[in-house]
Chain A
Amino acid sequence: MTDHQLLALLPFMVLAAASIVVTLLIAFRQSHTVIQVTGFVLMCGVLGAMWFARGILPQEVLPLLAVDGFAALFTGLIVFSVLVVGLLSFIYFEEREENPKEYYILLFLGSLGAAILTISRHFISFFLGLELLSISLYALIAYLRTRNNAVEAGMKYLVLAAVTSAFLLFGMALIYMETGSLEFGGMARRTDIISSPLFLTGLGLMVVAIGFKLALVPFHLWAADVYQGAPAPVTALIATVSKIGVFAVLLRFAAVLELQSYGPALVLFSALAVVSMIVGNLLALQQQNLKRLLAYSSIAHLGYLLVAFLPGNEAGIEAAVFYLLAYSITILAAFGIVTVLSTRQRDAESLAEYRGLFWRHPVMALVLTVAMLSLAGIPLTGGFIGKFMVLTSGVQQGLWVPVIVLVLTSVVGVYYYLRVIGVLFSEAPAAVARERVLHPWFYAITYTALVVLVLLLFWIGVFPNAVLQGIRAFLEIGAG
């Protein structure tokens, strides 16, 4: 391994080291604050390492990994999300769990798994990353083990994820049997077999696993329960980090194999996109629970994202990256509010608890309002530019069915996002006495972070030019 390769992997090593550092810290000094601050510094370290290594990209670490601009973008997105999730976790767990330290080990391990997915160019690294992510999530979802919902959600995720992992392995095995290669590149060279039944079966089995992770219909049955049962910051983690990682590997896999030019695969993914958009939006309509509502909305949003995946060209990837960026910021802001409003006994998930929030906590209500508007894709917010780019890439390829479905289901979506906003602005009930705030400093920091997220959302919504050029520049840095 050359120096350059090592340097290119430095961010991932720092990420891996973070979980070890936290483990050691727990052995020596059990202070939540210290762990939190160290974790924050280490995540900044990962970003610093990425900045440091940017000049030598792209690097291939054969045969498993490829660190290129594409990977850097997605890893950056993951680390950014983890930073925010980590910040949210402090006030959430400090009030609930007397011993929340192991949480951070799992958090960093899970992000490492997602980050590995973004750089994998081989089935082995793909599977390793996915399992690392899943196993951390099993424990994270059920972390508040005294809550029934959490245990149920953890079990559900464990069983289903294990089953789909088996599907994934079987699919990989079939493809390996046909192509004789575990590398994406190696498979791509065997263009003759791409329409063979075995390859198609293998691909279908892999799609089951990927669809499960991305919560695409019809593999979405876990989503609402897990979103509801998991602690709010973990839900944010599932909604952002795990989906970014899996989507990144899907994009790379499809790009190398040029899956989109292959009819049956295109039909398969179009169908998934269309069904996800329709079902996700329809199921969200009547939800009275904000976390479940966001779960169904995320199903729909992954459907939108797949529309950007379908063209399989530069514009599509660009749109997908931007969409994921806007979506992550939005979702983090929304779950940030859920986290801040949650009490010791339970998460603030019932919509009734948000009634008249605007008149009690205007700033928080505004953050949530902007997040909802962004999810609905209203201009001035990043969500609009994201949806605009997805539509552009879809129209460019003449994918009329997904595009029209996207438009129609967006209108359905607007209904339930507006419903949430309507609740926030409705007449306030008698003021609920709030518990004493335990950590004013961390509350202040969290508030600031949420406001910054909203400003970011406006910034990329009104002046997306800089971000777009950044994304283009990164995507030009080599291909794996």
Chain B
Amino acid sequence: MILVILISVLLVAGGLCWGLDRWWAARVKWVALLAVVIDLVLVAALWIEQGGAPPEAASAWMIDYRAEWISAFGISFHLAMDGLSLVLLLLTFFLGALAVLCSWNEVRERHGFYFFNLLWTLAGIAGVFVALDLFLFYFFWEVMLVPMYFLIALWGDSNRRYAAFKFFLFTQAGGLFMLVAILALYLLNGVQSGTYSFDYNHLLNTSLDAPAARWIMLGFLVAFAVKLPVVPLHNWLPDAHSEAPTAGSLILAGLLLKTGAYGILRFVVPLFPEAAAAIAHWAMLLGVIGILYGAVLAFAQTDIKRLIAYTSVSHMGFVLLGIFAFSELALQGVVLQMVTHGISTGALFLLAGMLKERLHTRDIGQMGGLWTALPSMGGVALVFAMASLGLPVLGSFIAEFLVLMGAFPVNAVLTVVASLGLVLSALYSLRLVQKVFLGPAPVAAHPLRDLGTREKIIMAALTISILWLGLYPQPVIDMVNGTVAQLTRPAPAVVIR
């Protein structure tokens, strides 16, 4: 029930924001903030409650809620949460609260509709992380899409229409293939078992012959690969990330990309273990290509948001590499990478947004020497640039280290090549810091304002969390232990070369 409350709080508050806009335009942001904070507190309470439980509990599902929905098709309103969901929910509401905070002054018009879209996107994402009925999952998957489209198309930058279209079309195309795959799985399972149901646990028992499993898995994989993004399908990402408003970029990079990784972890691997194992090496290869390609392109960008967007492509390559290594270490690294990437890239996008607010440009060429004018911002940026390049002490290091260590026994060659990505990440991160904050200071037309109190709070929260994850990631690893153990239990036969 608590899961239903989590989602409906966002939906109701979103409706309220829009409804109250006419009379209360300046204050709807408080409603939005309140809603997200309520959810954040609820999830944090859940975490504390579950943290006491032994890590190796018998059932991975901590909370399971199920109600009839469209019984004519065997569709139920089935929400459930395990450690993985809990970690991602916490991330969702943490970044959600920051997204509301960072739009505090940035949004100058149509507040109500803006926060409506923001909250509904968050609700869709939260739904994706807990839905355990495949129809419901698809439902949430699409629900998060439309408000996100509006966020980009209405409050984005100069080329926002194009970016919003591209984002929507790519995701929708992937989503429809997933829908067909879901239907095929549902019907095959129905023929086998005699009961037609979209329930996850029910569909887990489907026995598929190899070609069917391969095609159905590819249907799922296309949708998740677009979201993640995997390299040939990443085309929408730089545009969407750079044109979206700051909160939009934060949610896109911090959360939407994670839904792709979550989908692979939750659906592709458990539903089609053999088929997934069969393509594991190809997927790892794509992951490595993504790592290198993203890093090289990030190095070449002159637009600060595009640069950060390409670093996401690179970091998500590690996720793909780790998932298809099928080892416990790598999977723990993947979950950590999802969280730390959300925090570090989110922080970088926030910084880019703050820079844009002050300088009215995203062009790195027009920046430089900002450290003198903006010392605190420069310091924070340095921290997150270091996080992005994988400096020990900060969370991303642990994550990427675990992924590489887990992947090494499976495919040593690819892992070695992937670790080159770490070198490249140092290149682009340092270039970013150098071009923006160091170097000769331009003659500023007007004095620049350093971080305000609100911005300091946001950045402090992010810095503390990335440090904490770097120094003591154990709670997160413990929390996802059950899920990871389940993922590796069938021990898909990955041939060790």
Residues of A within 8 A of B (CB): 373, 378-380, 384, 388, 391-392, 395-396, 403-404, 407-408, 410-411, 414-415, 418, 422, 425, 463-465, 468-469, 472
Chain A interface main SS type:
helix
Residues on B with beta carbons closer than 8 Å to the beta carbon of A422: 153, 161, 164-165
Contact of B150 among A380, A407, A411, A425 (CB under 8 A): A425
Chain B interface main SS type:
helix
Task: Mark B141-180 against chain A: 1 for CB-CB distance below 8 A, else 0.
Answer: 0110110011001100000010011001100110011011
Contact of B69 among A384, A465, A472 (CB under 8 A): A465
Closest A residue, CB atoms, query B142: A379
Contact of B72 among A396, A404, A415, A472 (CB under 8 A): A472
Contact of A395 among B73, B139, B153, B184 (CB under 8 A): B184
Whether A395 pairs with B71 at a CB distance below 8 angstroms is: no
Q: In the bound complex, what is the Cα–Cα distance between A391 and B149 (angstroms)? A: 25
Closest A residue, CB atoms, query B140: A379
Whether A411 pairs with B70 at a CB distance below 8 angstroms is: no
Whether A411 pairs with B183 at a CB distance below 8 angstroms is: no
Whether A395 pairs with B165 at a CB distance below 8 angstroms is: no
Q: Tally chain B residues at the interface, Cβ within 8 Å.
A: 31
Residues on A with beta carbons closer than 8 Å to the beta carbon of B177: 407
Whether B153 pairs with A411 at a CB distance below 8 angstroms is: no
Residues on B with beta carbons closer than 8 Å to the beta carbon of A373: 146
Whether A465 pairs with B139 at a CB distance below 8 angstroms is: no
Residues on B with beta carbons closer than 8 Å to the beta carbon of A395: 180, 183-184, 187
Whether A425 pairs with B154 at a CB distance below 8 angstroms is: yes
Q: List 6 A-B contacts (CB under 8 A).
A: A379-B143, A380-B143, A384-B142, A396-B187, A415-B169, A465-B72
Residues on A with beta carbons closer than 8 Å to the beta carbon of B183: 388, 391-392, 395
Whether A403 pairs with B72 at a CB distance below 8 angstroms is: no
Asked if B401 CB lies within 8 Å of chain A CBs, one says: no
Q: In the A-B complex, list the 8 residue pairs whose CB atoms are closest, starting with the nearest.
A: A468-B72, A411-B173, A379-B142, A407-B176, A395-B183, A379-B139, A465-B70, A414-B172
Whether B187 pairs with A378 at a CB distance below 8 angstroms is: no
Residues on A with beta carbons closer than 8 Å to the beta carbon of B179: 388, 391, 407
Q: A42 to nearest B CB, angstroms?
A: 34
Contact of B70 among A415, A418, A464 (CB under 8 A): A464
Q: A193 to nearest B CB, angstroms?
A: 35
Q: B417 to nearest A CB, angstroms?
A: 34
Q: In the bound complex, what is the Cα–Cα distance between A102 and B161 (angstroms)? A: 46
Q: A472 to nearest B CB, angstroms?
A: 7
Asked if B138 CB lies within 8 Å of chain A CBs, one says: yes
Contact of B142 among A378, A396, A464 (CB under 8 A): A378
Whether A378 pairs with B72 at a CB distance below 8 angstroms is: no
Residues on A with beta carbons closer than 8 Å to the beta carbon of B165: 415, 418, 422
Whether A468 pairs with B70 at a CB distance below 8 angstroms is: yes
Q: In the bound complex, what is the Cα–Cα distance between A404 and B177 (angstroms)? A: 8
Q: A261 to nearest B CB, angstroms?
A: 20
Q: In the bound complex, what is the Cα–Cα distance between A384 and B175 (angstroms)? A: 13
Task: Mark B416-445 against chain A: 1 for CB-CB distance below 8 A, else 0.
Answer: 000000000000000000000000000000
Closest A residue, CB atoms, query B185: A395
Q: In the bound complex, what is the Cα–Cα distance between A373 and B149 (angstroms)? A: 12
Residues on B with beta carbons closer than 8 Å to the beta carbon of A418: 149, 164-165, 168
